[in-house]
Amino acid sequence: MAKIALVTGGSRGIGFGIAKALAAEKWDIVINGMRPVDSVSEALNELHAMGVRVGYARGDIGSAAGRATIVSAAREFAHGSINLLVNNAGVAPKVRADLLETSEESYDYVVDTNLKGVFFLTQAFARGMVDAKHENPEFPAAIVNITSISATVVSINRGEYCIAKAGFGMLTQLFATRLGGNGIPVYEVRPGVIKTDMTAGVTEKYDKLIAGGLCVQPRWGFPDDVGRAVAALARGDFPFSTGQVVMVDGGLTIPRL
């Protein structure tokens, strides 16, 4: 039986890298995004060309109505519960502001999507996975959360993002603990500096930092680096490691003198 994964924010950047890595291992893929389907047709076609079924669940995880639409579309595609939820979708602050100047509007925008939205989307799909496990204990199910080194590495010009990612890390621990008895592992992948459209505006800054020794491995990370980590977790290569964090940061967070 084919296994089905939902990758939120899966039409570009890290999410698309994850979707391609899973498709390469013959997972059927539902990608989520907020753009009209015509705008993501290139990504959908590329995945379909890899020999898997592909669906699109349009919706904003930051709103209750958007989450309901995503859940409904994914379940319709899967004819029941999906096997793998990859929580990747997220937003950056629209304006990077000093911590003393962060607006409540920006805080709500980032946290509603990157933390509140992820919590309730995970809750909805976790319920479906638990039900599927009750019906068939052999039903394969897992959750992988894509957070960020910003969960522990401070950026005072985007504090709301750091707070959301730190909370997201605790979300992993909570769901791993709640679902462990149901045989549903929950993992966290924590990327470092990854070359995507989200980092396009700070390319020059990070080029200089990386050249100056920011990372142990002196290069940018790429979506494929994150995708390969997720694929390993999805395969079940870490069956006794629920709740754990996989760093994909080129050694950036290794304490060094």
pLDDT digits (tens, 9 = 90+) for 16-30: 999 999 999 999 999
Within a domain: 257: no
Secondary structure, 3-state, 91-132: CCCCCCCCHHHCCHHHHHHHHHHHHHHHHHHHHHHHHHHHHH
Within a domain: 8: yes
Amino acid 197: pLDDT: 86
Amino acid 110: pLDDT: 98
Within a domain: 205: yes
Within a domain: 252: no
Is 107 designated active site? no
Amino acid 2: pLDDT: 87
Say which residue the tokens 């969960």 belong to.
151
Within a domain: 20: yes
Indicate yes or no: pTM above 0.95: yes
Question: What is the total count of domains within the chain?
Answer: 1
Structural domain boundaries, residue 132: 4-245
Within a domain: 140: yes
Rounded Cα distance between 216 and 193, Å, is: 12
Within a domain: 251: no
pLDDT digits (tens, 9 = 90+) for 116-141: 999 999 999 999 999 999 999 999 99
Within a domain: 250: no
Q: Residue 150 is which amino acid?
A: S
| 3-class state of residue 33 by DSSP | strand
- Out of 56, 107, 109, 161, which one is annotated catalytic? 161
Low-confidence ranges of the chain (pLDDT < 50): none
- CA–CA distances in Å: residue 245 to residues 89, 92, 196, 216: 18, 22, 22, 19
Give the domain CATH number at 166: 3.40.50.720
